[in-house]
Chain A
Amino acid sequence: MRIYLLIVFFLFIKAISAQTTISGTVKAQKDGTLPGANIYLKGTYDGTSSDVNGRFSFKTQKIGTHTLVVEFLGYEPFAKEINLTGAEITLLIGLKETFSKLDAVTITAGTFEAGDKKRANTLTSLDMITTAGAAGDVFGALQTLPGTTTNGESGRLFVKGGDSEESQTYIDGALVHTPYISTAPNTATRGRFNPFMFKGTIFSTGGYSAEYGQALSSVLLLNTNDMPTQDQLDISVLSVGPEIAGTKLWKNGAVTATLTYNNLQPYMNLVPQNFEWKKAPESTAAAISIRQKTGKTGMLKVYASFDDGKFKLAQDDLDQNKKIDFALGNRNTFVNTSYRTALSKNWSAATSASFTADADDVTFDGNQFDKKLSGFHLKQTITNELNEKVTLRGGGEWFSRSVEQTFQTVTDTFVNQYDNNTFAAFAEAEMYASKRFVTRIGGRVEHSSYLKNTNFAPRVTAAWKMNETSQLSMAWGWFHQNPNDDYLIYTNKLDYERADHYTLSYQSAKNERTLRAEVYLKDYRNLVKQNAGEFFLAESYNNNGSGYAAGLDLFWRDKKSIKNGDYWISYSYLDTKRNYRQYPELAIPTFASKHNLAVVYKHWFGKLRSLASVNYIYSSPRIYNNPNSEKFNGERTLAYQSLDISWSFLFRQNIIFYGAVTNVPGFKQEFGRRFSDQPDQNGMFKSAAIIPGSDRFYVIAILITLTKKGTENQLDKIQ
């Protein structure tokens, strides 16, 4: 018994006197030592941090089995049971990098992403708004990115040798049937939506996910703002009209109502116009936007707008040798809703729906031409994060589209219409092999009730991060789209048009400098051809058209080199030919420019509280057809050039002044020539130059925000 007690006593003494030194080195499994790692015995106060060489050493009085924990930001925690006996312990610890999608490789082939504030971006939503030449138009801003060609007489997006109708716009996942406002032929349009509505933008110029169909060339994905943070009233007075927007919050929701009135008459009285306006463009728009949080993760968004616009213009009719009036009235109703929620830890669902009713009433020379479109899109997506490296996504879509065109002359009325329902299903898997390698494989099936035809589209993308700053991406896929309305109203004996994309993209980003280089090839097939027969006969159309587009896109962005300055340069080289529509042969299409350059510079003048922006855009001459010439598409337009400036001045915290001028030097802009339909008595087609509505465009605005506190402003709008 005594001996037993003695042993206990000695053990006790040993326990208080035993001191174990634990030392070692912490390394990253891949490369290098880790300074600043946290090393400690679990449940005790004994521990230390590793030094600059990753080495550490500490002493502990504890004995017996304990758990040694090593932690370091960005690495998986390490734990090891050690037995403390008083004998020195030396360890070499290798930490494994944690997998986080935020700093893992991303698929960048063909994609410009903006808005996700924590990610390194090529372009943010703010950049879009403050780009001088865009004058607040989303589509205008996108035309400073590589892969796009500016068509001054259109204003729409032309991407990588694709026609404007090959690009689709989605808001919160739902299709926007009429993204552009209605204009007269050969005059530039703008987007219908205020860029301030959106918190994020993804502009994909090719190789996009299987989630998106019905687009041969590009998809623009706009994501609207989440919950506003306070009640406020925004008043904007622009040189073209006023806008007032009020926001009211409640517990888990908010509503914003906006009223806009635009009338270009006073502006046109001041600034000389190239067109003879009988009635200047005038529009009234009302919109309401509702946000409601449901449960812990659900978010319901509803946006509804009604837009009414009209104008009247006198244009030379080259056949009749006189001026005729062209009058247009447009009414557009648009509803967009989306709901997303988490179903469980790994499952989430998103539902989006949109509805569009659009009517153009055109009157010219006593004739009446009415175009009615009603469109509906419903989409359900289910996402399953199988584990941190594998995400599965699948869903279904229903596109409905009704088009009716009525042409009424003094004597006759012609009505053509069609209804189509397209049902689609898609599935894709995104798999990270490691932080450095990701692939996304997916497929898409579509069936059109009108074309009575089904298509299948495989899509594959992969990206490889070569080192901390550089990565390489590739994308391949088939893309289908229904033929243009103008053909479908006459026939349903057509097949889907198709484009195959091959994209290889390199991106390097370091220190707020980004370089991107991308080469691509697009192979067009099944394009609609119109033969010499009458345009209203079904037999006049077939799918025998084809074409290709190949090019190189370069993008350089530098926010670092110039203090308070930020610039980007985009250059695109495009080689494209196609034989479609009424083309007699393979030819360069009229919307394509071989060389496209955009230089955008922004400078923040702190003392003046001003952001100045200047940009220069150049597109090499485009091709157009002269029916008087033997050669098809044999004429060249002038090169397009524009130098635009803008100035934003933060007068008070809640008052901003804004001004912009486009084409400051007054570069001559001419977008080809239009020709008479019939030759004159000498067999010649008469022609006239296609020119912009005015040589320069001026915008002046004052933006005022009123809140209870009176300190907020619309800074995010223009700074």
Chain B
Amino acid sequence: MKTTIFTLIITLIALTGFAQKAEYYQAMGESLGQYANCKTPDDFQALGNRFGMIANNEKEEWLPLYYHAHCYIIMSFMEPSDAKKKDSYLDVAEKSLKQLETMVPTEAEVFALQAMLYTARLVVNPMERGQQYSMLTAQSLGRASALDPTNPRAKLLKIQNDMGSARFFGKDPKEYCSQANDLLAGWDSFVPKSQLHPVWGKDQAEELVKSCK
């Protein structure tokens, strides 16, 4: 009898745990599906909020925090002119990224996203921040590709940066076109670790290839 009760309790706990995990997968799945529908900063804020809420519930999962930061970085890029707003969005993203760095210190995706954050900081005021943040961006990308040389998002950001700086120095950005072509051709061969892991960036790689033509 005692064993039965014990088993029952264990099963119940496991089931509740499972149910909660199921809720997590469902919430993440739904939220990731929302990305395609986001058009305005408000949309991204609502989505970011959603990821923030999930992150609050799932302290062990790093993906909700990752997407939370991602949404806020996109908001900063979308904000047309208010530098203070841009920075305040990036402050939120930076906070999540700091947490991520200690949670999953060997995750290439995190450092690729960190590079994106630094680029966003730079964009707020290129004249003043150019030096500092281009260096930080390069450092983060270096760490990302050291952790996973196949990560397509790290490669994408690297090519974008290289092309941007080539354009700036009056050199031909097309010298990076073969890299862009390779990136796009091999994009689908990168297999994310789960359905919830980041997959974004293919459309941007397509744009790079298009800009080469």
Q: Which residues of A contact B (CB under 8 A)?
A: 35-38, 40, 42-45, 47-49, 52, 71, 73-74, 103, 117-118, 120, 124, 126, 229-230, 511-512, 604, 606-607, 609, 650, 652-653, 711-713, 715-716, 719
A609/B170 in contact, CB under 8 A: yes
CA of A40 to CA of B168, assembled, Å: 46
Q: Looking at the complex, which one of B50, B84, B92, B138 makes contact with A103 (CB distance below 8 Å)?
A: B84
Q: Taking the complex as formed, is B1 at the interface, i.e. its CB lies under 8 A from any CB of chain A?
A: no
Jot down 28 A-B pairs with beta carbons below 8 A, ordered by A.
Answer: A35-B42, A36-B46, A36-B49, A38-B49, A38-B52, A42-B56, A44-B57, A45-B23, A45-B53, A47-B53, A49-B45, A52-B42, A71-B52, A73-B88, A73-B92, A74-B88, A117-B129, A118-B87, A604-B127, A609-B168, A609-B170, A650-B169, A652-B169, A653-B165, A653-B169, A711-B138, A713-B131, A716-B132
User: What residues on B are CB-neighbors of A36 within 8 Å?
Assistant: 42, 45-46, 49
How distant is A412 from chain B, measured CB to nearest CB, in Å?
A: 58
CA of A120 to CA of B124, assembled, Å: 12
CA of A52 to CA of B130, assembled, Å: 35
Given A42-B56, A653-B169, 8 further pairs, Cβ under 8 A: A43-B57, A47-B53, A52-B42, A71-B49, A73-B88, A117-B129, A607-B170, A653-B165
Q: Taking the complex as formed, is B3 at the interface, i.e. its CB lies under 8 A from any CB of chain A?
A: no
| B185-213 contact mask (Cβ, 8 Å, vs A): 1 or 0 | 00000000000000000000000000000
CA of A118 to CA of B53, assembled, Å: 28
A49/B27 in contact, CB under 8 A: no
A40/B42 in contact, CB under 8 A: no
User: What residues on A are CB-neighbors of B87 within 8 Å?
Assistant: 118
How distant is A189 from chain B, measured CB to nearest CB, in Å?
A: 29
Near A by CB (< 8 A), chain B positions 75-119 give 81, 83-84, 87-89, 92
How distant is B2 from chain A, measured CB to nearest CB, in Å?
A: 23
Q: Looking at the complex, which one of B46, B81, B170 makes contact with A49 (CB distance below 8 Å)?
A: B46
**Number of B residues with CB within 8 Å of any CB on chain A:** 33
Q: Looking at the complex, which one of B42, B84, B128 makes contact with A124 (CB distance below 8 Å)?
A: B128
User: What residues on B are CB-neighbors of A117 within 8 Å?
Assistant: 128-129
CA of A653 to CA of B42, assembled, Å: 38
How distant is B196 from chain A, measured CB to nearest CB, in Å?
A: 14
User: What residues on A are CB-neighbors of B169 within 8 Å?
Assistant: 609, 650, 652-653
Q: Which residue of B lies closest to A74 (CB)?
A: B88
A45/B54 in contact, CB under 8 A: yes
Q: Which residue of A lies closest to B81 (CB)?
A: A511
User: What residues on A are CB-neighbors of B84 within 8 Å?
Assistant: 103, 120
User: What residues on B are CB-neighbors of A120 within 8 Å?
Assistant: 84
CA of A40 to CA of B50, assembled, Å: 9
Q: Taking the complex as formed, is B135 at the interface, i.e. its CB lies under 8 A from any CB of chain A?
A: yes
CA of A229 to CA of B24, assembled, Å: 41
CA of A103 to CA of B53, assembled, Å: 26
Q: Looking at the complex, which one of A35, A43, A609, A716 makes contact with B131 (CB distance below 8 Å)?
A: A716
Q: Which residue of A lies closest to B52 (CB)?
A: A38
User: What residues on A are CB-neighbors of B128 within 8 Å?
Assistant: 117, 124, 126
A712/B130 in contact, CB under 8 A: no
CA of A230 to CA of B142, assembled, Å: 15
User: What residues on A are CB-neighbors of B52 within 8 Å?
Assistant: 38, 71
CA of A48 to CA of B50, assembled, Å: 7
User: What residues on B are CB-neighbors of A126 within 8 Å?
Assistant: 127-128
CA of A496 to CA of B138, assembled, Å: 55
B135/A712 in contact, CB under 8 A: yes
Q: Which residue of B lies closest to A37 (CB)?
A: B49
User: What residues on B are CB-neighbors of A47 within 8 Å?
Assistant: 49-50, 53
CA of A604 to CA of B56, assembled, Å: 45
Q: Which residue of B lies closest to A230 (CB)?
A: B135
Q: Which residue of B lies closest to A46 (CB)?
A: B53
User: What residues on B are CB-neighbors of A42 within 8 Å?
Assistant: 56
Q: Which residue of B lies closest to A560 (CB)?
A: B81
How distant is B67 from chain A, measured CB to nearest CB, in Å?
A: 14
Q: Which residue of B lies closest to A42 (CB)?
A: B56
Q: Which residue of A lies closest to B26 (CB)?
A: A45
CA of A607 to CA of B167, assembled, Å: 9
User: What residues on B are CB-neighbors of A512 within 8 Å?
Assistant: 83
User: What residues on B are CB-neighbors of A650 within 8 Å?
Assistant: 169
User: What residues on A are CB-neighbors of B49 within 8 Å?
Assistant: 36-38, 47, 49, 71
Known: A73-B92, A609-B169. A45 touches B57 (CB 8 A): yes
How distant is B112 from chain A, measured CB to nearest CB, in Å?
A: 20
How distant is B30 from chain A, measured CB to nearest CB, in Å?
A: 9
User: What residues on B are CB-neighbors of A71 within 8 Å?
Assistant: 49, 52
How distant is A517 from chain B, measured CB to nearest CB, in Å?
A: 23
User: What residues on A are CB-neighbors of B129 within 8 Å?
Assistant: 117
Q: Which residue of B lies closest to A103 (CB)?
A: B84
User: What residues on A are CB-neighbors of B138 within 8 Å?
Assistant: 711
User: What residues on A are CB-neighbors of B81 within 8 Å?
Assistant: 511
Q: Which residue of B lies closest to A229 (CB)?
A: B135
Q: Which residue of A lies closest to B82 (CB)?
A: A511
User: What residues on B are CB-neighbors of A604 within 8 Å?
Assistant: 127
Q: Which residue of B lies closest to A713 (CB)?
A: B131
User: What residues on B are CB-neighbors of A74 within 8 Å?
Assistant: 88
Known: A38-B49, A49-B45, A103-B84. A715 touches B168 (CB 8 A): no
B50/A719 in contact, CB under 8 A: no
A38/B53 in contact, CB under 8 A: yes
CA of A47 to CA of B46, assembled, Å: 10
User: What residues on B are CB-neighbors of A719 within 8 Å?
Assistant: 127, 130
How distant is A229 from chain B, measured CB to nearest CB, in Å?
A: 6
Q: Which residue of A lies closest to B20 (CB)?
A: A45
How distant is B7 from chain A, measured CB to nearest CB, in Å?
A: 22
CA of A229 to CA of B45, assembled, Å: 34
CA of A74 to CA of B91, assembled, Å: 11
How distant is B16 from chain A, measured CB to nearest CB, in Å?
A: 13
CA of A71 to CA of B131, assembled, Å: 35
Near A by CB (< 8 A), chain B positions 17-38 give 23-24, 26-27
Known: A103-B84, A609-B168, A716-B131. A40 touches B53 (CB 8 A): yes
CA of A40 to CA of B27, assembled, Å: 13
Q: Which residue of A lies closest to B129 (CB)?
A: A117
User: What residues on B are CB-neighbors of A44 within 8 Å?
Assistant: 57
User: What residues on B are CB-neighbors of A103 within 8 Å?
Assistant: 84
Q: Which residue of B lies closest to A468 (CB)?
A: B84
CA of A42 to CA of B23, assembled, Å: 14
Q: Which residue of B lies closest to A566 (CB)?
A: B127
User: What residues on B are CB-neighbors of A52 within 8 Å?
Assistant: 42
* Residue from A45, A103, A511, A512 whose CB has the most chain B CB atoms within 10 Å: A45
CA of A17 to CA of B185, assembled, Å: 51
User: What residues on A are CB-neighbors of B54 within 8 Å?
Assistant: 45
Q: Which residue of A lies closest to B136 (CB)?
A: A229
CA of A71 to CA of B68, assembled, Å: 14
Top 4 A-B residue pairs of the complex, sorted by shortest distance between their CB atoms: A38-B49, A49-B46, A716-B131, A36-B45
